[in-house]
Every structure is written in C-alpha cells, then in structure tokens.
C-alpha cells in the first residue's frame, strides 16, 4: 500500500493510496461514509457549483465522529448540552448537510439537498447560521470557524463553572482545513486555547495536502503539529481513512487534559478516479464521468440522491445515539435549583430588574454632571450592569486600563480556572472577536470586549460575521478620534466609524457624554438582533444632559437643544463633537442665527424610525454635520460637514482639533457659509 | 545574580536582576546604551506622553545591532543596499529616534527630540514613514512591522536574483514585542518566511514578559521559539542586557541558512528604581522621581537632553561604520551593466514604452469587444504589462485560478529560489498585504496581489498602512458583488467597496468592461502616491466601449452615453451595473425620457477633478446611482440609488440580481419615480 504520509503527494501517489484503500474489505461504516460522498457529488453536480472534494475526503472522519463520539440528538438540535460541531472549512458544506440529512434532522430532507445552493434553500453555498437549527455558525471565511469554536469551548467551561457539570458538560469539535490553519486568526485563537487549557476542544484537521493553487507545498511547509504543541495542545496524526485510527485518536482527545488537534491525512475527492488527490476536486462539480467512476470504485449502485434503506436506518440510529443522554439531562434540569436561571440565560433574556443599577447611575449622572471620558462613563455603566447581569463576560485585547472594560471585584478566568467573568485576550483582536461570537452562539453569555477603535480593522471579518449571524456581541472601542492625541495617525480612526456604519445590521453608538454612554449601553444590551459597537472617547467630555427619565438615545438621534424660535440651521453632531455644536449654537444665537443641535449617537437606529420622527429631528432648515472623522456617508443627513479630510497626526489632542479645524468657531463659520452669510467655504468637505 | 529567565517575572525578581546587572563594571557600550535610555526618559517626560519602558529595556540590543551589525550610513539613509531596520514595536519610537540622533542623522537633531510627539515633529508618537528618510516604515499597529519586514526580505532576495549580489546584498532586522508575536498577521508572515527560507531576516524579540494588562503570563504562555522552529526558523535565547551574548547570537544569525528569531530576555524600563519590570514603565512618563532614580542607578550625571561629547562621538563613529562599504558599492554600481535599470526600478519609474503592450490590448478590446469577466480582462492586461514592467511581482492568497493574477511563462518564487515574479502567498491575506507593503517600501518592486474582494476585510490594517505611507501596492480583488453567486453572503461583498472608498488615499477602481479594466490597470500603475484596489467581476461583462484612443477612466468618471437632447435624468453606475444603466437608458428613451449614462470607475480620482469637469459629467438633471452594493456614500453623488440593502444570499448570480432588484427594469422604475412619474419608490434605498 502506497504511503499517504509523504510530505507532498503527487496525484499518482494519491491514486495509488486510494486504490489500496478501496481494495480493503468494505465495512458498514465505510458504506456510511460513502453515503456522504455520493450526496456531495450529486448535490454539487446538480447545483453545477460547490466543493465536492472536501466532503469526499473527510467522510470517514465525519462518520466516526457522528456515529461514535459527537453528543447530539437529531430530534432536538438546540439541546443546550449538546456537543458543538463547527465545520470551519465551510466550503465543504455538503459534508454537514449530508450528515444532517442522513441522521434524520427535520428540515434537511432530500428535497433540500436537491436545492443545494439555490435561493431560499437551507442548504446554502456555505453553512449559514439560522438556515437550519443544527448549523452552529456561519462558516466560509477561513479561520473563523476554528476561532469561534474556541469561544464556544470557553463558554462551556465558564457555564460549567457557574451551573455545574450536571447541566453543562459537553465538547466542541471542529473540522478545519489547511487554509484555516494558515489564517492568522487561528493562530490567535489556538494560542489562547492552549493558554487556557481548553481540554474539551478537539480540532480534526483535513490534512489533504491540497490547496486551490495546487499542492500545499507551494506555500505551506511548517510543522503544524509541532506548532500546536508549542501552544500547549495535544497532537495526533492519523490516516484519515482508517476508522480504527480515527476512533482511537478521538477517544484519546476526550481523555486529554489539553485541547487536541488531530491531523487526519486524507485524499481530497476520495474515490474519484482521476481528480482524487488534486485541486481539481476542490471547488467545482466533478462531472458525470468522474462521478460514474467514483461510484463504481465505491461499489455504489443506487440512483442519484438515493440512500439505500439499511444505510439510512443505520444513520438515523446514529442521530438518536444520545437521545437517552438528553432525556437524563432534561430530568436533571427539571430538578435543578438553577433551572430557571439557566433557561433564562440560555434564552438570551436579561434578568428582571437588570436595568435598575443603570437607571440609578443615569440619575447620578444627571445630578453629578461628570466631566469624564465616555470610556470612563462606560466603565461606570459596566459597574452598574455586570453585577446585575451575570451572563455578561468582559475582556480586552491587552488594553484593559485604556478601554476601561474591567469592573472591580469581577475576577478574570485563567488557565484551568473558569470561575470568572473577564478575559485577558492578549494582543489578539481578531481571535477575541471570533471567540466572542462563539460565546454568544453557544448561548448563556453576553460577551463584551475592548480594544482601540482603530483596531476594529483587525477584527472586522469576525464582526461582519456577528452581524450576519445576528449575534449580540458588544465591542467597546475606545480612543475614537484624533482626540487620543499623541499616538498619531496609526492610532487615530478617521475612517473607521464610517467603515463600521457601512456593515449591515451593526449598530454603531457614539455617545456624547456620560448620560448618553449609559443610554447606549442599555441599547446595546437590549439589542438581541445583532452586534453593537460603542465608540468611546479617551478625552473627558462635559455633561450635556440633565434629564435621566427617558433614554433619549433610543431613537438614534434627538434634538438636544432646540432653536430659539424657528430654526435657521440644524447642527448635527456625534460623540465628542456635540459639545462643539452646543458652543457654536450659542455663538450663532449671538449673531442672530437660531440653531438647533441634534445629538446623533446611532445612525442605524435613527434610520429605522418612522418618517415623522426623523423629519421632526432633522427639520427643514439647512443642516450641517460635525464629527472628528471623515464625512463619508454624512451626505445622507446633511448639506455640509465639518470634520477630517484625511489621516490624523501626532500631537496633543487640543492642538489637533485646532489644526484640523474641528472647533466651534469653524462650525460657526461653516454654518454661516451654508446660509450664504460667510466666505465661500461651503459644502461637503471632501 | 537573580535569574531573569524565570517564565514569569515578579517585579521584585526583575529589580533583583536589574541590581545585579547594574553592579557589573560599566563598559563603554553599556554607556552608549544608556544614552538611548536617558533620551527616551527625557523625551517622554517632556512630551508628557509616550512609552519609555521599551527603549530602556531594548537599549542594549539596539546598541549591539547599530554599532556592530547593521549596515547603514547616517550620511545617506536611503542608500539602496543598506540593511533594513524595522521597529515593529513602534510604540518604542524613542528607541529609533534616539538611535538616529546619536548616530548623526540629519533631521533628528536634539531639538527634534525635544519636540517628540508634537505637531509637525519628525519624532512623531509612532515612527511615521516620510517624516525622516531613515524611518523605513510606519509602525505602531502591532504585527505590521515584522510582517512588512518579511516583504522587504523577499524583495532583497528577488532583486539579488535579478541584479546580482554585487548590487543587492543586505539584511533585514526587526525589533518586535510580545504583542507583535500574538497578532495573527505575524503568524502568516513568519510561516511564509520559514517556507521561503529568508535567511537574511533576523527578528530581535523584546522578551520582557510584560504587556499592558500586566505580566504576559496573563494571556501568553506558548513556547514561541518552538513555534518558530516549526515554521523553519533558527532560534536563540539570550540575556538581552548581555552584550556578548547578543553579539554572538546576531553573528550566528548572519551565518544561518534560515530566518532567525532571537528571544532577548529584557527588563522593561531598565534602570527605573520602582517601575522597571512592570507595566508601569510601558506607556506613560516615568515621573521625575523615577527618572532621577534611574539616572542615579546608571551613574548618569548629564543634564536632560544632553549627551556627553565622548559618547556622542563614539555613536557618530558607529553611524559611519559602513561608509566605506557604501563607497565601494557606489563604485560597483557606477560600473555595473544594469546600473540604469537598477536605478530606474529603485526610483519607482516605469520603463519607457511600458504601456505599449497595454495600448495594443486596448485597441484589440475596441475591435474584439470581448464579453469576459473583468478578472479575465485584468489577466489579459497583466499579460501585456508584466513582460514590459520587470519590477511587477504578482501573487494570490491561494486563489490564483479565481483571481487570474498569473501570467503565462512568469515563474513563481519558492523555497530558496527567488528567480521568479509570482508568489503563492497561501491563505494569508493579511500577511500578503503587509509583505506587499514591504516590497514597495524596499523599492525596486511593484507588487500586486489577489484575493476575493470580501477578504479585503482580512487585510485592511495593512492596506490602510499602505495608504498612510503612500505606497504603490495594487490589490486585485475579484468576485466583487452578489455576481459571484452561489457562495453566498459570506463571500458577497455588499459593504466592502464602501468601506474601502472610506480609506483616505486609496484609489478604488471598479471597471465596467474589458476596456475600462485595462484603463484602470494603467491608472493603478501610474499611481505612485498610494495603493489601488481593482474590484473585478467573476461574471462576464459585455463590452461597452469601442474607443481606445483616450483613457476615459483617467478622470474617475465620464459620460459613457449622453442623452439624446437635454438630459431628463443621469444614470450613474460602476462595474457590472453599467450595462444595466445602458439598458435602462434605452427603455427610458422609448418612453420619452432622455437619460445620460455616467460610468464611474473611480470616486477618488473624480473627486479630485476640477469643478467644471465634475459638473459636466454629473449634469443638472436628477441623478440616480446603481451598484450591486449598499448605497452608503452614494448620497454624495446622487438623489436616489438602486442597490443592496443588506447581506446577499446563496443562489445563481442571475437569480440574485432579480431577487435583490438590481436590474435594468428596476432602474427604469426608480428613475421614473425620481422624476415623479411612477409609484412612490423614490429616494435613497436605506
């Protein structure tokens, strides 16, 4: 038998190895794996689009996992104590759909598979969270799955620490590809998983030596397992088509005191007579000849999209494997003293009276009128919220003292110790954001995490996925403008807010003072349909509000200061620039120009308000915006804009506001110009 | 002497180790290192802002490097064959400024240091490319420096392969921090460096066990050196305050056949009596007491901002160390047969007649009128350009066949073989983009690289730095809309183009057909002041242009089809939607509505045109935009918009355009509505 362990596989070598495997006696479990293979071939062929090679290569691995190890019950895919399974190599989506179909999951009938990659099909091109309850997350962008799984595994440990092993005791399994391991995000997440000792996390790596460009040796020659050992992981290497080897490695993983990665040496497109072991089987239909040849090689005689009854029955049995375990768990849950609290947290419902402390804080802000950075106001808000909302878990990408994300008396988790509610993520923004997604997806945790606003760029792909998956994750992004001062243009987010506002279903909050900060925290926590960003100032901001009765940020924008009499102009501002609008309003009034000031903490929410409310806020007078960022997107709301035209600079903050002309006098001048009363500096600044 | 090799350092241990080091006899080289320390303390103190701890901790490492190893001549910091030095831990900028001052670089006089972190000072908060000719790149966002340095080292090898060792034979040195190594981007770059065998790259890791949140053990417990061994690097561990150990390790690195990482165990804030070895010395002025104490511990008696003459002379000698080497090199260059070509490439000037092939291709496109994806038109453009521009180096993040970035007959580089002009970057978008920056910064190479447009999010921080540093790097980003079809919302960039347009000094091109694609390639290559993105379609696009004489994309937007008579409405479109505007124009004309069609391949360039030209293109009639992306930012140009309102879906492309209402009939309806002639669907779509 030709070795499939050679570092680089020529197609011929792969075909020889394949022939040797196919010459072995066919077991029932091999046949079960073949079910996955033929469904993948058939569905991709019918769709004329998709990735057959990975499901064909990983069918044996998946079969061993789903028939012998994974704890799940097809009758209740949302069972809270199920094992989590993440298909990080999301392009191999037919592997997952095939498994869900075969194990008898409702909603993944054969008709659905026949509509693979068609509009409104639950069997979308890549697994999409929400399309089917057994899809744990949306995958496809490489590196996200494995990193999100780290967050799921963290959530499991933290909830087990809170609710006990009788309610929370499950594993997290990942199938990943070479590409997942090349992506930087997976490095961040794997390093953290090793650091924390997430022993219930197992990664099954599809070590197929093939990437889209060809042999992985073109670009990938590192010793992956040695690298994972360096992270503190247990490692194994197995023949990914040898069920006994696979079972032994998975069993060892369940006993390991460390997270485990198992390199499963596989042949991509296994069984295809010519394309097996080549990039040709990766991302396109195999074609009729190859499919005929593959089925013949497998000894498969059934029609397309047909699974012989005996095999289907055996698979459905596998889908019921843990049904008894689930029933026992339900009994334990029913009697558990923390049942109500567990169910509440897992359902994502906030505790009763969760807002009491925050409301008290708002009342304090109204009387105290603190002049503090909104990052400090955020910390005070957290001090009111975190004790009241036990599922809130905070953290920072090594900027705790700058992001002010910690709360006194709330301990951090650490290696082997999950009895805490704070995470020192390290300088790993992207891994943090993905793991936060995993915590939210797992359920039972509302994650918030901090870094500088500029580094939203580092975590953007994970944040986009949170928006796509409708997950409540909250990013506390401080140092939100040139107001951070001396650190200079690398740290000054001039276009970052605009770029975040562009992401669908992401709420970007930029509060103007302590009161609005508390209000925005309330809104972010209430927002169950997607992620939120709190863009917060480093510098102190004066209190602009004295009324605490109503959450005025709740409609996205509101008239903070109406004009005396009819409006001549409306000044619209966010965050640290609202104070400038208030000052400009006073100056304009002295000159006989009546200006209203609109505070605009959240565009996304305001855009969803009814037209009457929006009209009442925006008014009919000319409008001018001010924000210490670029004007991109402001044209939607205003006729003119005062802000940045490019990158920032290194200097003390107050010098920078002067230098870039983001001041109350500049706003006065621009407003007058807009009204035809000044030198011609009118119009959008770009 | 207390060990400083303990895995976790308590402040007391660090102070004991520090005392032991300070008790050793003071050498002249230690004194030279102290010069760096006192300048860092003084400058940060005067600025009341900055990071003294890192320069104080790494002063010994930097002294050994700059006095014994680094090839540079303070008299000519842009000497082409100098060693490149990258301060990846950019927050320690005073280390670099101190070194440049001490070695006698013009433009970094003591007055400049006294203006550390002040407006217009070359000594900005973080090193800023362009502020001083010896600053090789802008650093600060962690992970960028080390990854960009990989590109510099690649450039050196590739230029050496082209021009020979007599002209190109230098090393790349990096000082990096724990944070650099935690960031995912550095994993991508380090894996590639190991794969390629970049033996002239040396990383000096400031292994100080301190992060902002406290001891690195809070989040960082991996075995870094074992990890780098897994990548194929040589590794060393030394006492970062022991000059002999440092010199031995650096000497070994210069002989290594692999890239080398040297873990330099240091005490952050070295010499500070209380704050040494703690996060307290990292990111804030030490305060008068600590500075007095530190200077006393060092035996330093000079006034602030004063370097004793003898030490300054010794440092300036170091700054001249390689002056003779440079003179010899200049002589070799003068006689070299490839001198003119070398100087041209290093100056970033395109070859004469570089555009001839491209012009011929444009003429071909005019007559042939090919219906091809713009990614295919891009590949044909590359076929005309790459042979004519020998400094163009292409690549793809493992999507060569999809991005169409390869050119027949142009070989790829590989391990130990740099005689090529194509890079298989692996699934490492961020590392690729940073290394492309490094190639451009090195000079002599114009890098272009491909991935899917959606994965611009993965490389965004590096792209932003390219814009900030004014580097000509070209990103070929294909599959630019829902037009990619079945892969679904994870792969469909609906907000990506908007988010890229928001980045200052980035030109985003979205060509409408083959002709515009060739035009945009010409513009991207001519654009020396910053990076470009080419957003290209997967799907075939009909030819819309027959004229090849003028590059009509060169002004950013132009009237592709004027109205018959006075304009009733102007339809503005980009990329694959221009064909829809053309079709809608015909339908509208049948209904008596005269529409002009504006093709708008590049917003950034159009915004820079004079007002008269802009007015001539935009016209005075109502304007409606169409683009298969969200409308964010379009309000600047149009009164209404047809496009996306949120994420995409998985289905064949033509179904998606129907489903999301991005069609010629939808545009007709919207245009009529805008003109008050249809049902009330008017206005911006969001």
Strand, helix or coil for residue A448:
strand
Chain A residues 652-671 with CB within 8 Å of chain B = 652, 655-656, 659
A445/chain B closest Cα distance in angstroms: 21
B215 and chain A: CB distance < 8 Å anywhere? no
Strand runs labelled E in A619-671:
623-630, 640-644
| Interatomic CA distance for residues B385 and B356, integer angstroms | 9
**Helix/strand/coil (H/E/C) assignment for every residue in A276-305:** CCCHHHCCCCCCHHHHHHHHHHHCCCCCCC
Q: What's the full length of chain B, in residues?
A: 686
pLDDT in tens, B611-622: 999 999 999 999
- The chain-wide mean pLDDT, for chain B, equals 96
Q: B117 in contact with A at a CB cutoff of 8 Å?
A: yes
Contact (CB, 8 A) for A75 and A103:
no
Helix (H) or strand (E) run with residue A172 in it: strand A172-177
Q: Which two tokens stand for residue B667?
A: 């545009």
Cβ contact (<8 Å) for B426 and A485?
A: no
Sorted by sequence, the CB contacts under 8 Å of residue A335 that are 6+ apart come out as none
Q: Which residue of B has its CA nearest to A427?
A: B179
d(CA B478, CA A507): 28
Cβ partners under 8 Å of residue B502, min gap 6: A495, A498, A499, A502, A630, A632, A633, B633
The reply to whether A205 touches chain B by the CB within 8 Å rule is no
pLDDT, position A378: 98
A224 interface with B at CB cutoff 8 Å: yes
Known catalytic membership, residue A128: no
pLDDT along chain A (686 residues), means of 10: 43 88 96 98 97 98 98 98 98 98 98 98 98 98 98 98 98 98 98 98 96 87 97 98 98 98 97 95 95 98 97 98 98 98 98 97 98 98 98 98 97 97 98 98 98 98 98 98 98 98 98 98 98 98 95 98 97 98 98 98 98 98 98 98 98 98 98 87 40
Of A121, A212, A429, the CB nearest to B399: A212
B117, B630, B646: residue with CB nearest A486:
B117
Are residues A657 and A603 in contact, defined by beta-carbon separation less than 8 angstroms?
no
Residue-level pLDDT at B337? 98
CA distance A496 to chain B (A): 8
pLDDT single digits (tens) B605-647: 999 999 999 999 999 999 999 999 999 999 999 999 999 999 9
- The pLDDT, as a whole number, for residue A30 is 97
Q: How far apart are CA A118 and CA B649, in angstroms?
A: 9
Q: Scanning every residue of chain A, which has its alpha carbon at the shortest distance from the alpha carbon of B425?
A: A219
Cα angle value A190/A191/A194 (rounded, 5°)? 85
Rounded to the nearest angstrom, the minimum Cα separation between A351 and chain B is 31
Interface touch B213/A399, C-beta < 8 Å: yes
Q: Please tell me the predicted confidence (pLDDT) of residue A637.
A: 98
Work out the number of other CB atoms within 10 angstroms of the CB of residue B257.
9
Q: What is the pLDDT of residues B304-355, one digit of tens each?
A: 999 999 999 999 999 999 999 999 999 999 999 999 999 999 999 999 999 9
Q: Which of residues 249-268 of A touch B (CB under 8 A)?
A: none
pLDDT at B119: 97
Six token digits for residue B232: 């194929």
Return phi, psi of residue A551, to 5°: -80, 95
Write down the pLDDT at residue B678: 75
A639 touches chain B (CB under 8 A): no
pTM for this model (two decimals): 0.97
> Is the pLDDT assigned to residue B685 strictly greater than 50?
no
B623 touches chain A (CB under 8 A): no
How does residue B216 score in pLDDT terms, banded at 50, 70 and 90? confident
Q: What pLDDT is recorded for position A12?
A: 78
Contacting B residues, span 372-401, partner chain A, CB-CB under 8 Å: 396, 398-401
In the 8-state DSSP scheme, what is residue A373?
E
Distance to chain B for A59, nearest Cα, Å: 21
Q: Judge whether residue B396 has pLDDT over 90.
A: yes
What crossing angle do the helices spanning B243-255 and B53-64 adopt, rounded to 10°?
Answer: 60
The per-residue pLDDT for B13 is 83
B512 within 8 A of A505, measured Cβ to Cβ: no
Closest CA relative to residue B489, chosen from A131, A160, A684? A131
Q: Which residues of chain A make contact with B424, given a CB cutoff of 8 A?
A: 213-214, 218-219
Rounded CA gap, B547 and B365, in Å? Answer: 9
The b/e string for A132-166 (b: 16+ C-beta within 10 A; e otherwise) is bbbbbbbbbbbbbbbbbbbbbbbbbbbbbbbbeee
Mean pLDDT, to the nearest integer, of B577-582?
98
Q: Which residues is B203 bridged to in the sheet?
A: B174, B261
Mutation target to probe the B interface, by most B beta carbons within 10 A, among A96, A115, A125, A142 is: A125
Are the C-beta atoms of B150 and B189 separated by less than 8 Å? yes
Mutate to test the interface with A, among B91, B222, B403, B531 (most CBs of A within 10 A): B222
Interval B114-128: pLDDT, tens: 999 999 999 999 999
Longest Cα separation, chain B? 94
Longest dimension (CA), chain A: 94
What local confidence, expressed as pLDDT, does residue A596 receive? 98
- Phi and psi torsions of B645, nearest 5°: -115, -5
Of B183, B195, B504, the CB nearest to A219: B195
Rounded Cα distance, A92 and A57, in Å:
10
Residue with tokens 């995912």: B184
- The mean pLDDT value for B538-560 works out to 97
Q: Which pLDDT belongs to residue A683?
A: 43
A128, A179, A401 member nearest B488 (Cβ) = A128
Both tokens assigned to B453: 């447009």
| Selected catalytic residue, list B429, B516, B577, B604 | B429
For residue A363, give how far its alpha carbon lies from the nearest alpha carbon of chain B (Å). 32
């Amino acid at each position: 038998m030709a070795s499939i362990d050679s570092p680089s596989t020529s197609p011929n070598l792969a075909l020889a190895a394949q022939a040797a495997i196919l010459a072995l006696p066919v077991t029932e479990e091999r046949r079960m794996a073949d079910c996955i293979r033929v469904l993948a071939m058939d569905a991709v062929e019918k769709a004329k689009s998709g990735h057959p090679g990975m499901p064909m290569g990983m069918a044996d691995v998946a079969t061993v996992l789903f028939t012998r190890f994974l704890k799940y019950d097809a009758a209740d895919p949302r069972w809270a104590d199920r094992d989590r399974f993440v298909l990080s190599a999301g392009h191999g989506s037919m592997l997952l759909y095939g498994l869900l179909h075969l194990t008898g999951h409702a909603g993944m009938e054969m008709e659905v598979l026949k509509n693979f990659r068609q509009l409104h099909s639950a069997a979308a091109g890549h697994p999409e969270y929400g399309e089917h309850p057994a899809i744990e997350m949306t995958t496809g962008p490489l590196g996200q799955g494995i990193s999100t799984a780290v967050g799921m595994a963290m959530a499991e440990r933290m909830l087990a620490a809170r609710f006990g092993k009788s309610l929370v005791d499950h594993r997290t399994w990942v199938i990943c590809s070479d590409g997942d391991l090349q992506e930087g995000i997976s490095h961040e997440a794997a390093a953290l998983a090793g650091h924390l000792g997430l022993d219930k996390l197992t990664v099954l790596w599809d070590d197929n030596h093939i990437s889209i460009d060809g042999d992985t040796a073109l670009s990938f020659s590192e010793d992956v397992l040695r690298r994972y050992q360096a992270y503190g992981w247990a490692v194994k290497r197995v023949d990914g088509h040898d069920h006994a080897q696979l079972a032994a490695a998975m069993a060892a993983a369940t006993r390991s005191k460390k997270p485990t990665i198992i390199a499963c040496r596989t042949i991509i497109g296994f069984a295809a007579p010519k394309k097996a072991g080549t990039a040709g089987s990766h991302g396109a239909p195999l074609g009729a000849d190859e499919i005929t040849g593959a089925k013949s090689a497998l000894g498969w005689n059934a029609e397309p999209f047909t699974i012989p009854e005996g095999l289907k029955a055996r698979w459905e049995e596998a889908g019921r494997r843990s049904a008894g375990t689930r029933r026992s768990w339900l009994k334990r849950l029913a009697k558990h003293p923390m049942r109500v609290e567990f169910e509440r947290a897992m359902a994502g419902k906030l505790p009763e009276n969760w807002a009491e402390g925050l409301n008290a804080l708002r009342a304090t802000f109204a009387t105290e009128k603190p002049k503090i950075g909104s990052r400090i106001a955020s910390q005070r808000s957290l001090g009111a919220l975190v004790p009241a909302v036990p599922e809130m878990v905070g953290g920072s990408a090594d900027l705790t003292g700058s992001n002010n994300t910690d709360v006194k008396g709330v301990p951090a988790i650490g290696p082997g110790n999950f009895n805490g509610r704070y995470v020192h993520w390290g300088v790993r923004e992207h891994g943090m954001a993905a793991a936060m997604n995993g915590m939210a997806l797992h359920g039972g945790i509302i994650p918030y995490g901090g870094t500088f606003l500029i580094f939203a760029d580092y975590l953007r792909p994970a944040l986009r996925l949170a928006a796509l998956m409708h997950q409540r994750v909250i990013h506390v992004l401080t140092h939100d403008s040139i107001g951070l001062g001396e650190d200079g243009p690398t740290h000054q987010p001039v276009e970052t807010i605009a770029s975040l506002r562009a992401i669908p279903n992401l709420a970007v909050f930029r509060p103007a003072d302590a009161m609005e900060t508390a209000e925005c925290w309330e809104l972010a926590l209430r927002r169950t349909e997607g992620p939120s960003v709190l863009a917060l100032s480093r510098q102190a901001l004066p209190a602009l509000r004295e009324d605490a009765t109503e959450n005025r940020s709740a409609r996205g924008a509101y008239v903070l200061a109406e004009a005396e009499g009819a409006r001549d102009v409306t000044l619209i501002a966010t965050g640290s620039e609202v104070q400038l609008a208030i000052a400009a309003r006073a100056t304009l009034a002295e000159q006989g120009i009546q200006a209203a000031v609109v505070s605009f903490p959240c565009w996304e929410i305001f855009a969803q308000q009814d037209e009457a409310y929006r009209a009442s806020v925006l008014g009919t007078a000319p409008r001018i915006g001010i924000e210490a960022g670029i004007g991109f997107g402001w044209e939607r709301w205003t006729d003119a804009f005062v802000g940045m035209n490019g990158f920032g600079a290194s200097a003390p903050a107050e010098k920078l506001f002067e230098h870039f002309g983001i001041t109350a006098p500049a706003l006065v001048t621009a407003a007058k110009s807009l009204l035809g009363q000044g030198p011609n500096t009118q119009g959008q600044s770009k």
